[in-house]
């Protein structure tokens, strides 16, 4: 069974969209979305530097657009996608791409929402000096109580020995001085704020207003939610979860448990892939994985689809 996943914030690198623009129709699609959301996706995906694309309001639409245009090279229609893919999920902002790919949202609505999401989260992050840090190693039942003691939130529970903590600058400084037992390293992340925590509550309010202007549909392919790893079958429920998830932890570990229960045999991470398949290699041994980084990876991705999608039919 094939699972398709979409990456979250931090996966973007300068110029990563450049090779995709050589493919027919990609630049036109990106320019149409750029006009619709008032953000030059072509510029930011090709010529902008690392600091420019680190901006939450830029990074989030850029990532969703990249996931959608790269996935379109593999699945031309919704019918192709639903026939060949057994389940789909996205990490954090990647959930917007997964919602569009499974038909819960249109691509245009997904881009409109992610633009508003990025702006709202950037505004919320500016209120207090906050951030995030990845903890590498350590047992979950040791790490989580330690974070609670320091007042930090486990914003991403990614599985395979990786948890991302989020909170104020002072709380993160305390964590750097007092690591949980068994944790090898605490790595500060280059993000603008404490995403998926109570600090993002204002962004939830902004998104609640925004979703009233989009139309949700029931997914045509299993959509696995970051909230609890469950398969969500109703479009309105997908949208509700997308809104609330902004201020709640990402449970990617539970998503992978669901993939395993569904019988996953292959995983493709759409552009700019790499992080999620890296986690899957550690957490799901024996599952074939592929990161769709550039168009050069398309032939290998099509081969993997051919080998694994028959089990989803």
**What amino acid positions are annotated as catalytic residues?**
92, 196
Dig out the tokens for 291 from the structure. Answer: 């990161």
CA atoms within 13 A on the CB side of 10: 18
Instruction: Give the CA diameter of the chain.
Output: 53
C-alpha span between 305 and 35 (Å, rounded):
33
- Residue 174: count of CB within 10 angstroms of its CB: 15
* E strand segments, 39-196: 87-90, 130-137, 153-159, 162-168, 183-188
- Residue 249: count of CB within 10 angstroms of its CB: 19
Own/partner pairs for 279-287, CB < 8 Å, 24+ apart? 279/158, 279/159, 279/160, 279/162, 279/252, 280/160, 280/256, 282/159, 282/160, 282/161, 283/159, 283/160, 283/253, 283/256, 284/256, 284/259, 284/260, 287/259
Tell me if 85 sits within 8 A of 220, measured CB to CB: no
* E strand segments, the chain: 2-6, 87-90, 130-137, 153-159, 162-168, 183-188, 222-224, 231-232, 266-269, 288-291
Tell me if 97 sits within 8 A of 111, measured CB to CB: no
Tell me if 165 sits within 8 A of 135, measured CB to CB: yes
User: Do strands 183-188 and 130-137 pair parallel, antiparallel, or not at all (unpaired)?
Assistant: antiparallel
């Amino acid at each position: 069974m094939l699972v398709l996943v979409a990456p979250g914030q931090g996966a973007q690198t300068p110029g990563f969209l450049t090779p995709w623009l050589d493919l027919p129709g990609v630049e036109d699609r990106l320019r149409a979305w750029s006009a619709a959301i008032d953000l030059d996706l072509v510029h930011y995906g090709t010529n902008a530097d690392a600091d420019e694309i680190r901006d939450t309001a830029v990074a989030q639409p850029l990532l969703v657009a990249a996931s959608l245009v790269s996935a379109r090279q593999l699945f031309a229609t919704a019918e192709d996608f639903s026939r060949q893919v057994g389940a789909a999920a996205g990490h954090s902002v990647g959930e917007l791409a997964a919602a569009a790919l499974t038909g819960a949202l249109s691509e245009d609505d997904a881009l409109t929402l992610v633009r508003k999401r990025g702006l709202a989260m950037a505004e919320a992050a500016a209120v207090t000096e906050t951030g995030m840090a990845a903890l590498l190693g350590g047992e979950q039942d040791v790490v989580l109580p330690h974070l609670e003691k320091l007042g930090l939130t486990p914003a991403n529970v990614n599985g395979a020995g990786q948890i991302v903590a989020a909170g104020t600058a002072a709380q993160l400084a305390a964590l750097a001085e007092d690591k949980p037992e068994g944790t090898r390293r605490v790595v500060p992340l280059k993000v603008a704020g404490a995403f998926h925590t109570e600090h993002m509550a204002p962004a939830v309010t902004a998104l609640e207003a925004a979703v009233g202007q989009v139309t949700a549909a029931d997914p045509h392919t299993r959509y696995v939610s970051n909230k609890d790893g469950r398969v969500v079958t109703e479009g309105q429920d997908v949208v509700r979860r997308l809104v609330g998830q902004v201020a709640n932890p990402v449970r990617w570990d539970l998503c992978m448990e669901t993939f395993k229960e569904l019988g996953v045999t292959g995983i493709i991470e759409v552009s700019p892939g790499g992080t999620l398949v890296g986690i899957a290699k550690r957490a799901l041994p024996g599952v074939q994985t592929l990161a769709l980084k550039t168009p050069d990876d398309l032939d290998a991705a099509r081969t993997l689809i051919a080998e694994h999608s028959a089990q989803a039919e």
